[in-house]
Amino acid sequence: MGSSLEATSFSFPEYALSWNGQRLPVVGLGTASDPVGGSYLLTKLAILEAIKLGYRHFDTASLYGTELPLGEAIIEAISIGLIKSRDELFITSKLWCTDAYGELVLPGLRRSLQYLKLEYLDLYLIHWPISLRKGIEGVSGDTEYLMFPMDFSSVWVAMEDCQRLGLTKSIGLSNFTCKKVADILAIAKIPPAVNQVEFNPLWKQKKLREFCHSNGILLSAYSPLGAIGTSWGSNRVLECQVLKEIAKAKGKTVAQVCLRWAYEQGVSIVVKSFNGERMKQNLEIFNWSLSEDELKKIDDIPQSRGCQAEDFISKDGPFKTLEELWDGEI
């Protein structure tokens, strides 16, 4: 990581969210590391380096344990002049499943804001479409009897209240299928602005992307590099032969091909790196493009979901099979 902390003048494309026109930078920095929480100091330094490189969107979640270092990094970034105010950043966080009950949504958001030392979020997402028993930590197959169907109505109304109170500028979903997005749309007074899901050349989510797009919901890509090096991902994306050949021919890295491809699909991207060189590389996707032929080759890559989320499958819970959790989108 570099040592001089000068603000960069680099800026990159943004999307306008459909509900309020809020600007969301195309590439954001993910902060989920494995094991969850990781090192506080490493996370804070990585975020400062990212701000210096020009990242303005940061993705965290109550689950990740990175709200605290993100908040500290923002304070430091302002104090050393990397940014003038928090308003220059777009901060996303997520409601964890143990708080996915109507009466716990607002307290959950207030807790996140407290960790982040912020007055408001830019985007608050329902992390997964399932409720876990209040007060338990993490999720594993052993906790199968602790899973409940989420009451979409009360949870979404509470999410809308969070937005009305000005505690978040936008609200949205994560890991929601077409069917589950439609269920939310059927009850929403404020529609979700974003659905954050796994998205990369090996899992293109064509149907979901088109469905969200046609309903004014921006798809946001997580694990755009296949989450290499984590327990929820693998090297299958970065080791994909087709992508390697395209990258070689273009003089780019496979990661850059994945990120450029995602951008050309019209989705927003959250990519995690805590390494200065890779963070920089992951931003260098805007002054070149993929050819028709390359797009066709990527289109032909066989599809399968990387993160199945088997931990949410239980004989006593709301989802007894992966088919049910993903409504056949597997």
Active-site residue numbers?
64
Query: 247, 4 in Cβ contact below 8 A?
Result: no
Least distance from C-beta 82 to ligand NAP, angstroms? Answer: 20
Least distance from C-beta 182 to ligand NAP, angstroms? Answer: 19
| C-alpha atoms less than 13 angstroms from C-alpha of 130 in its C-beta half-sphere | 24
Closer residue to ligand NAP (CB): 282 or 314: 282
Which residues does the annotation place in the binding site for substrate? 127
Least distance from C-beta 190 to ligand NAP, angstroms? Answer: 20
Closer residue to ligand NAP (CB): 77 or 271: 271
**Helix 178-187 crosses helix 206-214 at what angle (to 10 degrees)?**
20
Looking at beta carbons, which residue is closest to ligand NAP?
A: 30
What residues pair up with 203 in beta bridges, in sequence order?
Answer: 200
Contact residues: ligand NAP, CB under 6 A: 30-32, 59, 127, 174-175, 196, 222-230, 233, 238, 253, 255, 270-275, 278, 281-282
Closer residue to ligand NAP (CB): 48 or 225: 225
Query: 196, 124 in Cβ contact below 8 A?
Result: no
Single-letter code of the amino acid located at 58: F
Q: How far apart are CA 47 and CA 43, in angstroms?
A: 6
Closer residue to ligand NAP (CB): 131 or 196: 196
Least distance from C-beta 84 to ligand NAP, angstroms? Answer: 25
Q: How far apart are CA 263 and CA 252, in angstroms?
A: 15
Closer residue to ligand NAP (CB): 226 or 317: 226
Closest CA to 104 of 157, 31, 42, 169: 157
Least distance from C-beta 112 to ligand NAP, angstroms? Answer: 14
Instruction: Write the Ramachandran bin of 182: left for phi over 0, alpha for psi from -120 to 50, otherwise beta.
Output: alpha
Measured CA to CA in angstroms, residue 5 lies from 77, 80, 164 at distances of 9, 8, 37
Q: How far apart are CA 144 and CA 171, in angstroms?
A: 28
Q: How far apart are CA 188 and CA 253, in angstroms?
A: 41
